[in-house]
């Protein structure tokens, strides 16, 4: 007897299919063969080995977290990406400095190579990554430029760029950290994921002026000194940096998202380029669970239109990662990474790091598909 031949391996129908890249926003489906999207939109019909239906949910390209901490268990922040990200709709995550030149090989072997989640690395300027218990740089010698350059050149496609922070938690000269980070970025033609000083001894405007087009400032809505606002308005230096091609990322974490900063910025038309969770070890088991869907819900609560918030966890970060034809899209031929989210009107209030709460619903993960495989 002849075996039945299916048209597709998987079809997922949803009450709403959203993809900024292809312009989809309405009822429809995504059809998958192997690890590739072959059709997306309305009117998809045919037989499939597996069919899923989510009439009350939105189907998106797999979410992309541009700043989080998939890492080795012995590091300060690292969590298992397949446990903490993949099952919550995040199919691609950029590590913010979880490894440096000294432990890159271990990171490649024990995190990137074995994870279903697509993990990319912004290599830490510190050669020890995040293994030091208090600060990633105990002295300026930890910012070993030669070792960092060599690691980037040997790390291949797993390394997106370089990460460093001029903040007050490192007992080193922040200007020297900036100088060394820029020298590595220039020598390797790499973008920077940058955490600014956030202290009155070095203005944000002056730090932004040193960055280059394509570099990303994270923690953009933090409420500390030298934030994005000056006298209630978005700083002229911030607007100038954006015009030059500097990109701005949320990096929520446990200390870097304040409605008092986000709401005026959004009201004045200054929106983040990417929304990221900065999810790490201390968030494990949090109630409510801190994750990327909850973070994007907070940006919507702060005034961003829903469609624009969705784009900033899909197509926009894909572009910054240089992977816009592979991820962040439902275009035929793209990798079949998908996230299904459902709106929970009764979810816990959306709280910022200052304890300010916004009532209302929250987008929550229902299902994830990674490279054509249903993983949750």
pLDDT in tens, 307-336: 999 999 999 999 999 999 999 999 999 999
Per-residue pLDDT tens digits for 157-196: 999 999 999 988 888 999 999 999 999 999 999 999 999 9
What integer pLDDT is reported at residue 73 of this predicted model? Answer: 84
Q: Evaluate whether residue 326 is within a structural domain.
A: no
Quick check: 1 pLDDT over 80? no
Q: Which CATH number does the domain housing residue 180 bear?
A: 3.20.20.140
* Confidence tier at 2 by pLDDT (50, 70, 90): low
Same domain, 313 and 213: yes
Q: Coil, strand or helix: which one is 304? A: coil
Same domain, 279 and 357: no
How far apart are alpha carbons 206 and 211 in whole angstroms? 9
Same domain, 363 and 273: no
Q: Which CATH number does the domain housing residue 337 bear?
A: 2.30.40.10
CA distances (Å), 372 to each of 6, 31, 66, 232, 265, in order?
A: 15, 10, 22, 47, 38
Same domain, 198 and 299: yes
Q: Among 299, 320, 341, give the residue marking a domain's end.
A: 320
Same domain, 132 and 90: yes
Q: How many domains does the chain have?
A: 2
Question: Given CA atoms 354, 357, 362, 366 in this order, what sign does their dihedral have?
Answer: positive
Domain extent at residue 44: 8-60+333-374
How far apart are alpha carbons 75 and 132 in whole angstroms? 7
What is the value of pTM for the model shown? 0.97
- Residue pair 37/8 in contact (Cβ under 8 Å)? The answer is no
Same domain, 46 and 87: no
Helix runs in the chain, H state only: 81-84, 104-107, 145-155, 174-188, 204-210, 236-244, 259-267, 292-301, 306-311, 315-320
Same domain, 257 and 118: yes
Same domain, 292 and 172: yes
CA distances (Å), 104 to each of 75, 78, 97, 281, in order?
A: 13, 14, 10, 20
Same domain, 286 and 369: no
Same domain, 253 and 165: yes
* Confidence tier at 133 by pLDDT (50, 70, 90): confident
Least confident of 110-114, 168-172, 247-251: 168-172
Q: Evaluate whether residue 191 is within a structural domain.
A: yes
The CA-based diameter of the chain, rounded to the nearest angstrom, is 78
Per-residue pLDDT tens digits for 251-286: 999 999 999 999 999 999 999 999 999 999 999 999
Same domain, 45 and 75: no
How far apart are alpha carbons 169 and 225 in whole angstroms? 15
Q: Evaluate whether residue 135 is within a structural domain.
A: yes
Block residue for tokens 């390209």: 61
Same domain, 68 and 122: yes
């Amino acid at each position: 007897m002849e075996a039945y031949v299916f048209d597709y391996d998987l079809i997922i129908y949803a009450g709403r299919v959203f993809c900024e890249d292809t312009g989809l926003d309405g009822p429809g489906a995504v059809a998958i063969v192997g690890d590739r999207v072959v059709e997306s939109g309305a009117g998809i019909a045919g037989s499939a080995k597996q069919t899923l239906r989510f009439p009350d949910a939105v189907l998106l390209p797999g979410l992309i977290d541009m700043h989080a901490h998939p890492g080795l268990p012995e590091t300060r922040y690292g969590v298992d990406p397949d446990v903490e990200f993949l099952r919550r709709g995040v199919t691609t995550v950029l590590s913010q400095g979880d490894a440096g030149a000294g432990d890159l090989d271990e990171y490649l072997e024990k995190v990137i190579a074995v994870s279903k989640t697509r993990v990319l690395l912004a290599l830490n300027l510190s050669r020890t990554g995040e293994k030091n218990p208090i600060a990633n740089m105990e002295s300026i010698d930890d910012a070993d430029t030669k070792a960092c350059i060599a690691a980037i050149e040997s790390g291949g496609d797993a390394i997106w760029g370089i990460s460093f922070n001029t903040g007050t938690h490192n007992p080193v000269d922040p200007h020297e950290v900036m100088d060394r980070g820029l020298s590595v970025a220039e020598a390797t033609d790499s973008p920077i994921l940058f955490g600014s000083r956030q202290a009155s001894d070095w203005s944000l405007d002056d730090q932004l002026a040193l960055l280059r087009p394509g570099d990303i400032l994270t923690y953009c809505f933090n409420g500390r000194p030298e934030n994005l606002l000056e006298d209630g308005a978005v700083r002229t230096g911030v607007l100038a940096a954006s015009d030059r091609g500097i990109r701005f990322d949320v990096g929520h974490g446990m200390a870097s998202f304040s409605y008092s900063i986000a709401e005026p910025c959004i009201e004045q038309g200054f929106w983040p380029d990417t929304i990221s969770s900065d999810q790490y070890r201390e968030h494990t088991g949090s109630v409510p669970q801190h994750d990327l869907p909850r973070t994007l819900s907070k940006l919507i609560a702060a005034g961003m239109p829903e469609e624009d918030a969705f784009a900033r966890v899909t197509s926009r970060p894909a572009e910054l990662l240089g992977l816009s034809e592979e991820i962040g899209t439902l275009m035929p031929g793209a990798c079949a990474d998908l996230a299904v989210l459902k709106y929970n009107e009764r979810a816990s209030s959306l709280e910022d790091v200052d304890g300010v709460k916004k009532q209302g619903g929250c987008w929550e993960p229902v299902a994830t598909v990674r490279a054509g495989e249903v993983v949750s």
